[in-house]
Structure 1
Amino acid sequence: MKIFDFKMYTSGMNPGAQAPERKVRQPKPPKGGPVFRVLISLLITLVFGGIYFYLKLPALNIHNEGLYSFVILLCIVFSVCMILLQGFRSSSVREYVGYTRKKLAVPFVIVILSILVMVVGSIAGWVVFRAKAYSELMPMTTGDFAAEVSEIGWSQIPLLDENSSNNLANRKLGELSDLVSQFEVDDASAQINYQGNPVRVNYLNYSDFFKWWNNRGTGIPAYIRIDMRSQDVEVVRLEEGIKYSPSEYFNRNLLRHLRFQYPTLMFDDVNFEIDDEGTPYWIASVLTKRIGLFGGADINGAVLVNAVTGESQYYDIGDVPSWVDRVYSSDLIVNQYDYYGRYHNGFWNSIFGQKDCTETTDGFNYIAQDDDVWLYTGITSVTGDRGNIGFILVNQRTKEARYYSCAGAEEYSAASSAEGAVQQFSYKATFPLLLNISDQPTYFMALKDAAGLVKMYAMVNVQQYQIVATGNTVSDCQQKYHELLIENQILAEEEPETEPEVELLKTSGKIEEIRSANIDGNTIYYLRLEKGTVYYTVSAKEYPMAVILDVGDRVDISYVQSEETLVEAEELEIKK
């Protein structure tokens, strides 16, 4: 029996007729041809890449990991543009994916190659395989501390650490009404040698965008220089303001200025320094990778940028001017020594046996020596004990490194020892400064109260850190420290100086003239013998018989050879 089809009846279709074939809806073809889509995608990618480069400033250098990330990002932007412009042209997702993969084969290959280079380059510089190369980044020599580090007097000791220096700079800026409302002190002060004195220099930043906008024509008008010995703070005003700094915007921003002039160079650290005439410069350390593609960071030169004019010049590391004090950053020096200390006997030894494995202590300071700035840090065992086996000094301009064997307290133990000597005041010690005091490696530190004000000073012997001297002044502290070294038989007791023997001459004769004068309550007699021109001085306090001398008396006088008219008599004898 034939069943009645209600849908066919209502639709007017003949029940016996075959249903028409359903048409597949085809998408509209994209506007423009393949070349047009590629050109538009490339244009958008270039615009995006230009904006990204302007903001992020990646170095166009094969040793820069960021370059490969930049390339991958550009490929992704290009691919997205191509996908959006070509539209959905296939009857199924599978066909669409296959079609798209063919069109985007080039950016896909670039991404794969970039990832492959990053992986292979990282493995080539992996410390597991290249431990020896890492340990050789910092050549090390052994030195004699007493002979190579000059002994320093109390008047030449740098008294300020970075925090104290920054506090003084901020306080000085607060006294200047024309500057304090527009600028602020940057805390990244660098210790340098200026005309033979250790100083810290602080540069100023614009307080905000609007302060920059108001002052951009004249620039930053001054910097602050602080003498670390006398603690004098000077605001150095410039005839022409600083136009290139980290707080500038757009093309005068320091890092952007450097990148546009040197697009392929990698920069490690940028420091503010002044030359011998006081001209402000930015010292940009140029980074290189010596192990594999991305490993073994080191410095091979520096770019010096005049902070006022923006003029710059690149120097190889051996040609950097001698007034520059800081090319190798503290972190890079510490990292390179740690490579040396851990891996000079191989990588696996640093994990299992740890024979002769050392590392730097937590913290460092600086020493002014030979018109250069040397980084100081202690060396301790990797097992993490509380003692030093020695310390290193590294020149921050040349990377000349010296190791001094000197078992003793590490810096924080010495600081605790100094704080314990004045525990009733609850003072806190600054990070120790290593000095040569009486040919002894000595930690020097300031003791501050809760407000950060320096109240006392302390000296702690590196090898015997129970020897602690404190004083309200540096000279008092150094004198007490010297006495403690003698008491503990580290120094021999000083014998009183004996005057050298001198030959005495003798003369005899009659007194032809006597004169006298009262000097500071003491009567001095001046005797001239007959036919003589010299007056011999005699003190009545030393020779009471001189008061009864008369003209015509015969005397014997002993004296020291002299060309003067007045000669002091060493001995006087009256003849009858």
Structure 2
Amino acid sequence: MTGIILTTILAFILYFVLAAIIIVKTKNSKSTLKTAVAIFILLFIAGGVANYILLIPITIPNMIIANLVIALLGILMLYGITAMNLEKKKMPGNYEAALGLIILLGIIAIPGVFILGITTLDNTYESINKQEVEEAKPLNKDDTPITVSPEYARNKVQKSMSVVPNTQFYDLGKLQVQKIDGNIVFVAPVEFTGFWKYFRGKETEGYFTISATDVNAQPEFVESKMKYTNSSYFNHNIERTIYTKYPNYIQSGEPQIEVDENGKPWYVQTLYQPIGLTNKPDMESMRVAVVDPVTSDTKLVDIDEAPDFIDGSLSSEMATDQNEYYGKYVHGWLNSLFGKKDVKIPNESGTESSVTPIFDENGDMYYFTDMASPKENIDSALGYTLINARTGELTYYNSKKNTGIMDSKGAKEIVNKEFPEKKWEGSMPILYNIDGNPTWVVNVLDPNGLFKKYAYIKASDADFVVFGDSARETLEAYRLQLAQDPSNVSATGESELEKVTGEVNRALVTTQKNGQVIQFLLKGDKTIYTINAGKAPLALFLQPGDKVELEANIRDNGTGIVESISISGLTE
């Protein structure tokens, strides 16, 4: 409440000054004073209510606009009431001067704030903790490079809402990806459906969790009553709770819950203070507010010093803003409009505010977004960003070494065109480097948000698509098809090669669209070895009984991709 009162008082400075001048210069000053005080009380109450509803942060631009609005309303009301006592309905010179001053200040201040905001874009860009990498690190065979799409997870949880006590009071809140006990899950609180439900219920019942990596997993409801939530009203609203303690900070996005090691939920919200005389964010000094939803106790810390159980101390909304500033304002505002040198536009294919949360092999959460050219009708990706969800560090992976790869919109369109009769659509596209090949991994969902398949799409070839029912199955099928495609120079990336010697037991030559592929078995070895004829033309003549020495990337699915082969009597 202190923040609301302080904000309201600061919004009256200009009105105080102008009203005082008018009172001094007015003949009937006592009457004018009473009128000015009555108007102040009325506007103060109205301003307090407006601040209570809108939660206006105490920043210089906000206070300038609030001062101008309050002063204009106050002076007009003051004139309207005092003019009733005048014989002529002509505005006295004092009021004309006051209104002229307000208009003049508005003409100066509002464009001035806009211009300052433009000049501050460079400072905001520089405040981003960023680095550029030439190429993404390839996934290894133990990685599972996908998660369940949030649309599918939400659909499954919605169908389980009946387990919530007094379920008619509630609806599902915002889904948040988090790692709990080593498992990556979606967490979603139950929220009130409206004011009267809040009035009757007073507190919510708990939250749901559901696996973010297993499409067959079922949601689990955890009972944990919460009094302070996003859907609560008055002082029980989370945003208002945070604003009351930190009115000079700007909140980014909607607060979300994260669960600690004891299963207790906490609301988490990213905050920032603006740069200079603007509302532009300073990315170097972002904070996170952690709120106890039972007691409303609130702690404010740097985003990288948040409690260990919090995976996303940086909100997805702030990550989206970072991508926007990083991509568009690399050389300033004018360049973003004219010339557009090095400008990159973030695609909006993400699952949360245009970004997609993912976890790396170390269990750290990042926000993924691919970048496209500002030129229209160009659907190739310039690269992609990963933003660390705990530190805010932005890493841009440049795709200069992989020119001509499609962007996320193109990948989704390929999936959408594959099943037009069923109206299945692509969701949550993520770009990975699989065995040295940039690859889009896409969830395929039906119109009801139910998961149907995975799609692996070679980013440089729109015709190279593999669909599958499970993550591992689709990944291995895609890798096998890569190995069989003669157009691939290498299908092993940075994987270690094993030396193998043996005698050929079976051999098979197949013809692909771009050439021929040889597959063979060795005696006493169940591994299916594959090699492109382009790498070893003499392998086309492999026969049972041939003795071979080879180097291959042997995978745990019983296949081996051969990089080099020596055939006794042919290559020796």
TM-score by length of 1: 0.70
- Cα distance change of structure 1 residues 314 and 348 upon mapping to structure 2, 3 Å threshold: closer
1:115–1:223 CA distance, 2 compared to 1 (3 A): farther
The letter for the 2-side match of 1:283 is: V
CA distance in 2, matches of 1:318, 1:448: 35
1:283 corresponds to 2:268: yes
Pairwise CA distance, 1:213: 2.2
Amino acid at match of 2:168: S
Among residues 56, 67, 70, which one is paired with 1:71 in the alignment? Answer: 67
Q: Which residue number in structure 2 is paired with residue 165 of structure 1? A: 153
Question: Structure 1: which amino acid aligns with 2:398?
Answer: S
Matched, 1:491 2:475: no
Aligned partner of residue 384 in structure 2, secondary structure: strand
Could you tell me how far 1:242 is from its partner in structure 2? 0.5
| Contact 2:347–2:409 (8 Å) recurs in 1 | no
Shift of 1:159: 3.8
For 2:393 and 2:161, locate their aligned partners in 1 and report how far apart those are by CA, in whole Å.
37
Once residues 366 and 112 of structure 1 are traced to their aligned partners in structure 2, the CA distance between those partners, rounded to angstroms, is 48
Gaps of 5+ in 2: 1-26, 351-355, 503-572
Aligned residue pairs total 457
Q: 1:144 to 1:196 in 2, by over 3 A?
A: farther
SS in 1 for 2:457: strand
In structure 1, what residue type is equivalent to 2:155?
A: N
CA RMSD, 1 decimal: 3.3
The 1:362–1:214 alpha-carbon spacing in structure 2 relative to 1, beyond 3 Å, is: closer
The corresponding residue for 2:133 is 143
- 2-structure distance, mates of 1:114, 1:323: 47
Aligned residues of 2:455 and 2:465 also touching (Cα < 8 A)? yes
Q: Does 1:401 align with 2:394?
A: yes
Q: State the Cα distance separating 1:464 from its structure 2 match.
A: 3.8
Distance (whole Å) between structure 1 residues aligned to residue 413 and residue 280 of structure 2: 38
Query: 1:391 — aligned with what?
Result: 384
User: What's 1:258 paired with?
Assistant: 242
Q: Percent identity?
A: 19
The alignment status of 1:363 with 2:349, answered yes or no, reads yes
Distance 1:334 1:255 in 2: 20
Q: Which amino acid counterpart does residue 368 of structure 1 have in structure 2?
A: F
Deviation at 1:178, TM superposition (A): 2.7
- For residues 159-203 of structure 1, what are the alpha-carbon distances to aligned partners after superposition, in whole Å with 9 as ceiling and x for unaligned? 4212111101101113x26342221112x3122222333221111
SS, match of residue 275 in structure 2: strand
Greater shift after overlay, 317-326 or 418-427? 418-427
Contact 1:158 1:229 in 2 (8 A): yes
Give, in whole Å, the separation in 1 of the partners of 2:239 and 2:116: 30
Q: Which residue of 1 aligns with 2:309?
A: 323
Give, in angstroms, the shift of residue 483 of structure 1: 0.5
Alignment of 1:217-366 (within 5 A): 219-231=203-215, 232-239=217-224, 241-269=225-253, 270-290=255-275, 292-296=277-281, 298=283, 300-364=286-350, 365-366=356-357
Shift in CA distance, 100/411, structure 1 to aligned 2, threshold 3 Å? closer
Matched residue SS, 1:73: helix
Pairing of 1:382-461 with structure 2 (within 5 A): 382-384=374-376, 385-406=378-399, 407=402, 408-419=405-416, 427-438=424-435, 440-461=437-458
- Structure 2: how far apart are the matches of 1:45 and 1:425? 58
Partner of residue 180 from structure 1, selected from 167, 173, 179: 167
Within 5 Å, give how 1:104-119 maps onto structure 2: 105=98, 113=105, 116-119=108-111
Bigger Cα Rg: 1
Gapped regions of structure 1 (runs ≥ 5): 1-28, 501-576
In structure 2, the CA distance between the partners of 1:441 and 1:198, relative to structure 1 (3 Å rule), is farther
Among 87, 90, 97, the alignment partner of 2:86 is 90
SS in 1 for 2:475: helix
CA distance in 2, matches of 1:110, 1:397: 45
Q: 1:291: Cα distance to partner?
A: 6.0
Compared with structure 1, are the counterparts of its residues 207 and 477 closer, same or farther at alpha carbon in structure 2 (3 Å cutoff)? same
Distance 2:184 2:263 in 1: 14
The residue matched to 1:251 in structure 2 has which SS? Answer: helix
- Does residue 122 (structure 1) correspond to residue 114 (structure 2)? The answer is yes
Distance 2:37 2:286 in 1: 41
CA contact (8 A) 1:150 1:436 kept: yes
